[in-house]
Amino acid sequence: MEIGFIGVGRMGLPMAKHLLAAGHKVIAYDARAEAVAEIVALGAESAASPAEVADRVENVVASLPTPDIVRKVATGENGVIHGKRIRRFVDLSTTGSTVAREIAAALAAKNIVQIDSPVSGGVSGAEKATLAVMVSGPQADVAVVEPALKCFGRVFYVGDAPGLAQSMKLVNNLLSAACMAMSSEALVLATKAGIDPGVAVDVINASSGRNSATLDKFPKAILPGTFDLGFATALMVKDVRLALQEAEAFGLTMDIGRAVGRVWSLTIDELGPDSDFTEVVKPLEKRAGVAVRAKGGAP
């Protein structure tokens, strides 16, 4: 299959590599020339704009950081909407359902099908091809691109309406953000009480409190003090805010969700948008005067 790939950054690059490894032809575009050069060196072809990508292939996927960038790539002046061959636009980004429906309507006017396909699993999941790939769109069109999506991980079909997969992704990421925030607070408490954080994590993971943060993020990046999982705080803050906006649109109060949002806002305010999302523990540590590190980890 010939596939256009827009956005070959930390998430997009390993996904594009998997497509090449599976024998697909990849036409790549990224705003950063060095990113395109890396995937071209592995066998992809380059394009000068999203519109050119859409001129050359029927199926275009995009992995982009923010809703505004997705809008620009999809419907902007040099967007895929102006392509001559494109029939399907597969958005791997996290935009929220409102933006997904907006883009779907604009593309439909040009007989282009929008397929929402946000992914979960982070850079590690992208590299290992173990992502959860959430998909919504017309089943016949999803079937066309499914072989490519399976190169990234396990595909979950959510439904045919635009935005359903985006809603599913926001639900997942809100839970992930909550696990990170609450686990950070709990382990700061354990450390303040005099419990070795490594022992505390082991106990939690053998007990009813275990979750994605204690099973994965704390052992890999927080206890050793590396803070290097590769997902920016700004992206997590964006996802939480999108989830809360979606909840508000449905008339839901989300009291716990708003509390989670405050923890993440504190993190971005104190550590900046480019900090690793595992650093959410640091402002809490600072206030408690402790460090949630395993023996031998960084202070």
**Alpha-carbon 31 to chain mean position:** 19
169 in catalytic set:
yes
Radius of gyration of the chain (CA): 20
Sign, CA torsion 105/45/8/48:
negative
Q: How far is residue 268's CA from residue 103's CA, in Å, rounded to a whole number? A: 29
Q: How far is residue 246's CA from residue 255's CA, in Å, rounded to a whole number? A: 14
Cβ atoms of 293 and 223 within 8 Å: the answer is yes
Sign, CA torsion 147/153/155/158:
negative
Q: Which of 169, 217, 238, 282 is catalytic?
A: 169
Q: How far is residue 255's CA from residue 299's CA, in Å, rounded to a whole number? A: 34
Catalytic residues: 169
